[in-house]
Amino acid sequence: MVHSQIISALPSSFEKARTAGDLLFFPSEVHEHEDCGVKFEIRLCPALLHKPNIPTPHFDAASIEAAAATKKPDPFAPPYNSTLYVSEFKDEDEGIEYAILLNKYSVVPNHFLMVTKDYQSQASPLVPSDLKHAYSILLAARKAGQHFFAFYNCGDQSGASQSHKHLQFIPVEEEDGPPLERVARAAHIESEYKPFALPSLPFANHVRRLSISPSASADELEHKLASAFMELLDLCISTVRLAEDHPAGMPSYNVVLTLQHLYVLPRRWETHVLSATGDKLSINALGFAGMLLVKSHEELEAVRLEGPAAILRAVGCQSVHELQVNDGPAVD
């Protein structure tokens, strides 16, 4: 029930937070660009040039200790005194408490976050309770006639700018989800119970079709999502091990969750240097979902020229899924 209350509270909370000046809305326009069978949406948002730039956090022990010593405020820690706060709930089985906050820097209305109330690292994997509640929120949105998907930027090369664990939810107009989802829905797969890859994409992508009945019990939901995530994470780690120039340290990856699919996309780098402009373009999970963000017309042209899929290949990993499936687990 709590999940449907989150969805119904969004429009009024968004307006209230915007009027109060706690939420900054940045207007944008979407340009379509087809590449490798994906209808990419490149969102041009020049107003974001004025948003304060938050440096990417690092997740090694020394950096976390150094950040804690600076006593930098954690925007996702309680108490929640601003109008960005929507609600909170507790997972009774795991004892984890979550808060729902509106995204302070909103490009799409009603973009919101599910944060752990206690500090958890954004470099830690999703746990069953995270997945169960994220999926239940998507389900509640669909019951209310709305379409959202969830994403998670994990690790210091994933595009995350905040180190406190947060999943994000963004609405899409179409029932068939973000551009990547349309490709996955059209894919003919060998088995619903095995991970697969979308072979038309030049970057590593590990996907599971989620055959979850809308009437599934909470336990069933949690079990299916957690086992799918573990399988995909195993493949992601194998992919990262095979990548010759992968940076040392914990693997970074992006997660995308829709009602029909779970995706894990391994990352090598956070940014790509655009060859036409020399600008660094930061890519997060939305980029891999087929939604790239640019802040100027020059960047837009540079992305079109290079091609979104090639840019994602540059910050992602080589696709080795077929190798893993056909030849067994990756070697060390």
| Binding stretches for ligand B4P (CB under 6 A) | 43, 48, 51, 54, 75, 84, 101, 103-105, 107-108, 113, 153, 159-162, 168, 282, 284, 286, 291-293
Judged by CB, which is closer to ligand B4P: 48, or 201?
48
Q: How far apart are CA 161 and CA 245, in angstroms?
A: 23
Judged by CB, which is closer to ligand B4P: 197, or 303?
303
Q: Please report, as a single letter, which amino acid is at residue 279.
A: D
Residue 282's CB is within 10 A of a number of other CB atoms, namely 16
Using CB positions, name the residue nearest to ligand B4P: 75
For residues 107-145, b (16+ Cβ closer than 10 Å) or e, as one string?
bbbbbbbbbbbeebbbbebbbbbbbbbbbbbbbbbeeee
- Please, how many CA atoms are within 13 Å of residue 229, restricted to the half-sphere of its CB? 23
CB of 168 closer than 8 Å to CB of 113? yes
Write down the least CB distance from residue 244 to ligand B4P, Å. Answer: 27
Write down the least CB distance from residue 236 to ligand B4P, Å. Answer: 17
Write down the least CB distance from residue 285 to ligand B4P, Å. Answer: 8
Task: Compute the radius of gyration of the chain from its Cα atoms.
Answer: 19
Write down the least CB distance from residue 92 to ligand B4P, Å. Answer: 26
Judged by CB, which is closer to ligand B4P: 119, or 193?
119
Length of the chain (residues): 332
Q: How far apart are CA 295 and CA 71, in angstroms?
A: 31
Cis geometry, peptide bond prior to residue 202 (ω within 30 degrees of 0): no
Judged by CB, which is closer to ligand B4P: 84, or 123?
84
Write down the least CB distance from residue 139 to ligand B4P, Å. Answer: 22
Judged by CB, which is closer to ligand B4P: 67, or 189?
67
Give backbone dihedrals phi and psi of 32, rounded to 5 degrees, phi first: -90, 145
Judged by CB, which is closer to ligand B4P: 104, or 241?
104
Write down the least CB distance from residue 93 to ligand B4P, Å. Answer: 26
